[in-house]
Amino acid sequence: MQVRSAGSHNWFTRLRRSDISTALLFLLPSLVILGVFNFYPIAGVFRLSFFKWDNLSPAKTFIGLDNFIRLFQSERFWNSLKVTAEYTLVVTAVSLFLGLVLAVFLNNRMLLGKSFWRSMFFLPVVTPTVAAAMVWILLFNPGFGLVNVVLRALGLDGLNWLADKTWALPTVMSLGIWRRLGFTLILYLAALQSLSKEYYESAEIDGANALQRFLHITVPLLRSTTIMLVILGVIDSFLVFDQVMVLTRGGPDDATEVIGMFMYLNSFSLFKLGYGAAISVVMFVVVAVFTLMQWRFVGFGSAGEAE
C-alpha cells in the first residue's frame, strides 16, 4: 500500500508539473507583452525618479531622493493634491448618489423602455473624453453657450465658467459626474436585480413605506457594491487628466490643476523628466493602495452580506 501511495503521489506531482508547464507556455505571450509594455516602463519610471534629466541631453545625473524632497516641499504639488481630492470627493459622492437613485427608478417593473434608458445613461461612459470635453466647451462658452443662454433667459448674468477661478473646477467636475454616472448606474442596477424580493415583501407586510425599505434594506444590501464603486471612483478620479487638459490646462491660477496635469506640465512642458517621474511614483503608490483596499474590503463586504 505504501508503494502504491508513493507512486500515486509521484504521478500526481508529475501531472501538476505538466499542467503548470502547459499553463506557463500558453501564458508566455501575454506575460511578454505585459513585461514589455507594463512592467518594464514602470520599473523605468521608478529608476528615472532618482535622476535629473531634461530629455534634451543624453546624460542623466543621479540625485537620489532629491526629486521626492523637492516634491514634498512644493506648494504647487500640495495644491494639486488638494484639487484632486476635491474633484474626487464631489464626483464620486454625486455620481454614487445619482446612480443609486436612477438605478432604483430604472429597476421599477412598470417602467417602459428600460433598455433605451440604460443605453442613454451608459452612452457617456463609452464617449471619448476629448469629444465630450469639446461639447462641454461649447455648452459653457461665455458668449453663445447653452448654459449662459438659459441663464440670461431667466434674467441672470452668464459666467465665463472655465476662466473663473471659482467655477472652473465645478465645471470640470460636472463633466466627470456626467461620464461616471452611467457606469455607477449599471452596476447598481445589476446589484438591485440580484437582491431577493423576500426582504421587501416582509418589510411591506410589516408596514414599512418605500423610503424605509430603501434606507433599511436596499442601502445595506448594496454595501459591497458601494464600497467597490467608491474605491474605483477614487482611483479613476486620481488619474483624471485628459478632460482637464482639454478644458482648462490646469487654470485659471492652478484652480483645476489635478496631480496628473501637474505631472504632465513638469515632464513635457518644463522638461523635468526625473521630477515628473517622482510625481508618477507618488500617483502609482496612491493608486496601488486603493487597489489593495478594493481587493480587501470588497471581498469583506461580500462575505458580510452572505452572512
Of the candidates 277, 232, 261, 111, which has an alpha carbon nearest to the alpha carbon of residue 172?
Answer: 261
pLDDT at 291: 82
Mean pLDDT of the residues in the chain:
86
pLDDT band at residue 103 using 50, 70 and 90 as cut-offs: very high
Percent of residues, the chain, with pLDDT higher than 90: 50
pLDDT at 205: 84
Residue 293's pLDDT band, with cuts at 50, 70 and 90, is: confident
Higher pLDDT, 303 or 174: 174
- State the DSSP code for 252: S
pLDDT tier at 6, thresholds 50, 70, 90: low
What pLDDT does residue 15 have? 56
Q: What is the pLDDT of residue 8?
A: 53
Q: Is the pLDDT of residue 2 over 90?
A: no
Confidence of residue 19 (pLDDT cuts 50, 70, 90): confident
What cell does 236 get?
479613476
Rounded mean pLDDT, 28-56: 89
Per-residue pLDDT at 278 exceeds 50:
yes
- What's the mean pLDDT in 20-36? 85
Alpha carbon distance 232, 130 (integer Å):
21
Q: Is the sign of the CA dihedral 84, 126, 224, 92 positive or negative?
A: positive
Tell me the C-alpha to C-alpha distance, in Å, between residue 205 and each of 14, 196, 198, 215, 243. Answer: 61, 15, 11, 17, 49
Q: Give residue 215's pLDDT band: very low, low, confident or very high (50, 70, 90).
A: confident
pLDDT tier for residue 303 given thresholds of 50, 70 and 90? very low
Residue-level pLDDT at 69: 94
pTM beyond 0.75: yes
User: Residue 1: which pLDDT band, with cuts at 50, 70 and 90?
Assistant: very low
**Residue 307 pLDDT exceeds 80:** no
pLDDT-derived band at 113 (thresholds 50, 70, 90) equals: confident
Residue that is written with C-alpha cell 477614487 in the block: 234
Peptide bond into 41 cis (omega under 30): no
CA distance 95 to 5: 59
Whether the pLDDT of residue 13 is over 80: the answer is: no
Residue 181 pLDDT greater than 50, yes or no: yes
- Residue range 109-124: mean pLDDT, rounded: 84
User: What is the rounded distance in angstroms from the CA atom of residue 261 to the CA atom of residue 95?
Assistant: 23
User: Is the Cβ–Cβ distance between 235 and 287 less than 8 Å?
Assistant: yes
The pLDDT tens digits of the residues spanning 217-268 come to 889 999 889 988 998 898 898 889 999 999 999 989 999 999 999 999 999 8
How confident is the model at residue 172, as a pLDDT?
96
Contacts of 175 (CB under 8 A, 6+ apart): 132, 133, 136, 243, 247
